[in-house]
Structure 1
Amino acid sequence: MLNTDPNLAVPDDFYAALLRAHEGLDADETHALNARLILILANHIGDLATLEEALALARGKVVEGDATTS
């Protein structure tokens, strides 16, 4: 089951690190970085059902126009 409760000790620090990782990249490079990051984290999770739940949640938020998570 996907954990959608806040789970980062310092979420702002992760967000800042994510922004730093994208510094200086063009649009294609930033999309490639995001794709690699998703695949790395998906491999870490390793459970297809959890990943499918995350995809559905993310897709629902995009379709509904809400960029936040539960």
Structure 2
Amino acid sequence: MRLRREPNIADPDALYAALMEAHRGLDEEASRRLDAKLVLLLANHIGDEAVLREALHLARGTIPGQDKAPATD
């Protein structure tokens, strides 16, 4: 299985609004914990390690086999 990269959310704006609402009133540390918990919950739901590793590489901007992420401006 490969990571699905085409749009697949019926209402992305509503989802974004719900995500922002979940962060409302949280300090930076609590907000980061919420993000980490959400990532782990969704990773568990996906359950396919190859898909998760592909997503990690894409999110970080690396290619498997490279030692470091590319420099950013």
TM-score range, shorter chain: 0.7 to 0.9
Q: Which amino acid aligns with 2:58?
A: L
4+ residue runs over 4 A deviation = 61-65
Deviation at 1:57, TM superposition (A): 0.4
Counterpart residue number, 1:16: 17
Paired residues, what number?
65
Q: Which of 1 and 2 has higher RCO (CA within 8 Å, sep 6+)? A: 1
Question: What are structure 1's unaligned runs of at least 5 residues?
Answer: 66-70
Residue of structure 2 in register with 1:54 after alignment = 55
How much is the aligned-residue C-alpha RMSD, in angstroms? 1.7
Q: So what's the TM-score if we normalise by structure 2?
A: 0.83
Structure 1 or 2: more helix by fraction: 1
Cα-to-partner distance string for 1:15-59 (whole Å, 9 max, x where unaligned): 000000000000000000000000000000001000000000000
Structure 2: gaps of 5 or more residues: 63-68
- Give identity over the alignment, percent: 54
| Larger Cα-atom Rg | 2
Partner of 1:45: 46
Structure-2 separation of matches of 1:55 and 1:63: 14
